[in-house]
Chain A
Amino acid sequence: MKKMQSTIRRRDFLETGALVGGLVFAAPAILKAQVRNSPSDELRIGFIGCGKQHEVLFNAMQNIQGLHYTAACDIMKNRVGATASRIKSRFGYMPNRYLDAEEMLSKEKDLDAVFVATPDFWHAPHTIMALEAGCHVYCEKMMSNTLEGARSMVKAMDASGKLCQIGHQRRSNPRYRFTLNELIRKEQLCGQIININGQWNRAVGSSQDISVKPSILPDEQTLLKYGFGAGTSAKLSLDQLRQRFLNWRTYKALSGGPISDLGAHQIDVFNWFLGVQPKSVMASGGRDYFRDREHFDNVMCVFEYDTPQGGVRAFYQVLTTTSAGGGYYESFMGTEGTIEISERSAFTNLYRESGAVKDWDALVRRGLLRKTAAVSATGESDAIRAYESAPPDRYDLPGDLNKPPHQPHIENFLAAVRGQEKLTCDARHALESEAPIYWVNPAAENREIIHFTNAHLQV
């Protein structure tokens, strides 16, 4: 087992120079796998990590043809058993089961691709291990709990010549790709984008600690061996280790906290849609409800961008104590209109400014938009006319995704493995987008504006 990545030193970056805020992202993924014999060839798949996120991925991929689920691994025996049972009941055969990823990769010599869905602090070691074993890798986001770990994944991808897709599944979602290519870039629906507003508001009830009966959890030696005692010099009890194993998302040495767990998806969309990295971040966070947790329970941050069109400010908030306020979405707000997009159709809305030049109804006729109910009018008794703008007309995207949200991203990965497509989010491009996210927690902890340099953001 490789030694885990050490935490990056913030000050090492702040000492070095050149501004990269305007760095334009390179073209989409350039990596493409060697063409296999035939598109119908069965790909042999291995799973590292069989927890909750693995279930999401498995449910999204079980309708994809041409896969053989060869092996599954997790340090928790019960989870490996559950995965094997799901495969048996759906496909009629059992995968080989392992409790150690290194053992799985050394014994399973003919795996084509591995799906890594382990805790964040294991993403880099497991991804690198699998790439070095000759497998293509689909790894869940956040790439790693440290920037250094994420960078090591890119290096390993380049060195191995294998594919490494990062699980920012919105990058393959038809709704997002259509919105970016057709509505924002081609039709310039927003006009000049000046602001972005994104959020993930989650209720207290959905943010509670996970607990399961202790008898099915790994023992103390196993938890220590696999690093769940990291980040503290204190002697941890078995209960404390189990708490860390089940709720690793709340510990600093094991994860990046809510801004990384939930925010990474959406801040990735900010950077992807704008096509540039931000030039600075300011942030505020607090442990105001879950006071015993190491990470903030609520974070608000503002990124500033220089784009070819001009400056853009992007506000993002992640709440783990309130679900009201529209759920989760990313809202691109421009002079002509606003596109409020979400993985869920229910949270997606498009608004045309009353003074917009472009005729959106013409786009409706072409099939690019769908018109929905008008926004409530101004001028009612509680409105102060002089202060109000005319209400924008409301529209919707013309269609939906009729699959689980992760399926197109997995399909893209598997098609790339077969040499039929390019990755939509390889590790290099994922890190270009993720790098600024690693600096939100430090900005909030130190109450300072971080002006990004090449050292902060370089891949």
Chain B
Amino acid sequence: MKKLFSNPDELAAFLGFLSLRLWLALRAFMTGIEKFAGGVSGQAPVLIDGTPNTYGLTAEQTTKVYGWAHYHGVPEALYNQFEAEPLIPGFLLKAYDLAIGPLLILLGLTLLLGIATRISLFAMALLYTSLTFGLILLKQDAGIAWMGVHIALIALALFQSRHNRFELLRNW
């Protein structure tokens, strides 16, 4: 440990940065993954005292599954509102809707693995800023504030990026 960190403050700074990096990576990666999530509904026998009832009573059971068939980049309710916005062209909305999920996954992975950490963080900040742009148009103040918190964390990470370790691609 002495070889890696000359004093406890340096260790603390590293752990602080690592915490931010992991949180931001996980936040982006899992949000991207969840955009591929959907529900498959089916009927299952009602369990009474732990065993299937003999009457034929069934209850709806929804199983969570992942796949392209369930992909939804921008949530449907928001998508419909964006469609009505004159400042968002339809073709751009479609492209954005398709790209946002894979982009979040990609940026989450690059940050997690330490591939061009600084560029990844900046790209992530641009992505969250683009989301903020849409939310401003819809006057969703709570969402804008929530995005602001993300941007602040990314900015903090960029300021502290000199403490970064364990990177696959150290440049950029």
Residues of A within 8 A of B (CB): 174-175, 177-178, 181-182, 366-368, 397-402, 408
Measured CB to CB, the nearest residue on chain A to B60 is A400
- Answer yes or no: B99 CB below 8 A from chain A CBs: no
A174 to B59, CA, bound (A): 12
**Cross-chain pairs A/B with CB under 8 angstroms, 27 sampled:** A174-B55, A175-B55, A177-B55, A181-B55, A366-B49, A367-B46, A367-B47, A367-B48, A367-B49, A367-B50, A367-B53, A368-B48, A397-B57, A398-B48, A398-B57, A398-B59, A399-B45, A399-B46, A399-B53, A399-B57, A399-B59, A400-B58, A400-B59, A401-B56, A401-B57, A402-B43, A402-B58
A373 to B58, CA, bound (A): 21
Q: How far is the CB of A323 from chain B (nearest CB, A)?
A: 27
| Cβ B49 vs Cβ A175 within 8 A | no
| Cβ A174 vs Cβ B49 within 8 A | no
Measured CB to CB, the nearest residue on chain A to B43 is A402
B50 surroundings in chain A (CB, below 8 A):
367
B48 surroundings in chain A (CB, below 8 A):
182, 366-368, 398
| Cβ A401 vs Cβ B58 within 8 A | yes
Measured CB to CB, the nearest residue on chain B to A178 is B55
Q: How far is the CB of B3 from chain A (nearest CB, A)?
A: 58
What are the 8 tightest A-B residue pairs by CB atom distance, in nearest-first order? A399-B57, A399-B46, A174-B56, A174-B55, A367-B48, A399-B59, A178-B55, A402-B43
B60 surroundings in chain A (CB, below 8 A):
400
A76 to B45, CA, bound (A): 43
Measured CB to CB, the nearest residue on chain B to A398 is B46
Measured CB to CB, the nearest residue on chain A to B56 is A174
Q: How far is the CB of B21 from chain A (nearest CB, A)?
A: 45
Provide the B52-86 mask, 1 if CB < 8 A to any CB of A, else 0: 01011111100000000000000000000000000
Residues of B within 8 A of A (CB): 43, 45-50, 53, 55-60
A401 to B58, CA, bound (A): 6
Among A177, A182, A367, A397, the one with the most B-chain Cβ atoms within 10 Å of its Cβ is A367
B58 surroundings in chain A (CB, below 8 A):
399-402
Q: How far is the CB of B165 from chain A (nearest CB, A)?
A: 51
Q: How far is the CB of A383 from chain B (nearest CB, A)?
A: 36
B53 surroundings in chain A (CB, below 8 A):
178, 367, 398-399
B55 surroundings in chain A (CB, below 8 A):
174-175, 177-178, 181
A456 to B88, CA, bound (A): 77
Measured CB to CB, the nearest residue on chain A to B50 is A367
Among B47, B50, B57, the one with the most A-chain Cβ atoms within 10 Å of its Cβ is B57
Q: How far is the CB of B114 from chain A (nearest CB, A)?
A: 49
A367 to B58, CA, bound (A): 12
Which residue of B47, B49, B57 is within 8 Å of A400 (Cβ)? B57
A177 surroundings in chain B (CB, below 8 A):
55
B49 surroundings in chain A (CB, below 8 A):
366-367
A367 surroundings in chain B (CB, below 8 A):
46-50, 53
A298 to B46, CA, bound (A): 39
Q: How far is the CB of A45 from chain B (nearest CB, A)?
A: 23
A400 surroundings in chain B (CB, below 8 A):
57-60
B43 surroundings in chain A (CB, below 8 A):
402
Q: How far is the CB of B106 from chain A (nearest CB, A)?
A: 42
Q: How far is the CB of A287 from chain B (nearest CB, A)?
A: 42
A397 surroundings in chain B (CB, below 8 A):
57
Q: How far is the CB of A302 from chain B (nearest CB, A)?
A: 31
Q: How far is the CB of A425 from chain B (nearest CB, A)?
A: 16
A293 to B14, CA, bound (A): 89
Measured CB to CB, the nearest residue on chain B to A177 is B55
Which residue of B45, B47, B57 is within 8 Å of A175 (Cβ)? B57
Measured CB to CB, the nearest residue on chain B to A411 is B56
A178 surroundings in chain B (CB, below 8 A):
53, 55, 57
A181 surroundings in chain B (CB, below 8 A):
55
B46 surroundings in chain A (CB, below 8 A):
367, 398-399
Q: How far is the CB of A362 from chain B (nearest CB, A)?
A: 11
A402 to B58, CA, bound (A): 7
A408 surroundings in chain B (CB, below 8 A):
56
A88 to B53, CA, bound (A): 37
A181 to B56, CA, bound (A): 13
A398 to B59, CA, bound (A): 7
A399 to B45, CA, bound (A): 8
Q: How far is the CB of B29 from chain A (nearest CB, A)?
A: 37
Among A175, A177, A400, the one with the most B-chain Cβ atoms within 10 Å of its Cβ is A400
Q: How far is the CB of B50 from chain A (nearest CB, A)?
A: 8
Q: How far is the CB of B28 from chain A (nearest CB, A)?
A: 38
Among A181, A367, A399, the one with the most B-chain Cβ atoms within 10 Å of its Cβ is A399
Measured CB to CB, the nearest residue on chain B to A365 is B49
Q: How far is the CB of B86 from chain A (nearest CB, A)?
A: 42
A368 surroundings in chain B (CB, below 8 A):
48
Q: How far is the CB of B168 from chain A (nearest CB, A)?
A: 51
A368 to B55, CA, bound (A): 12
A444 to B162, CA, bound (A): 93
B56 surroundings in chain A (CB, below 8 A):
174, 401, 408
Measured CB to CB, the nearest residue on chain B to A176 is B55
A408 to B58, CA, bound (A): 13
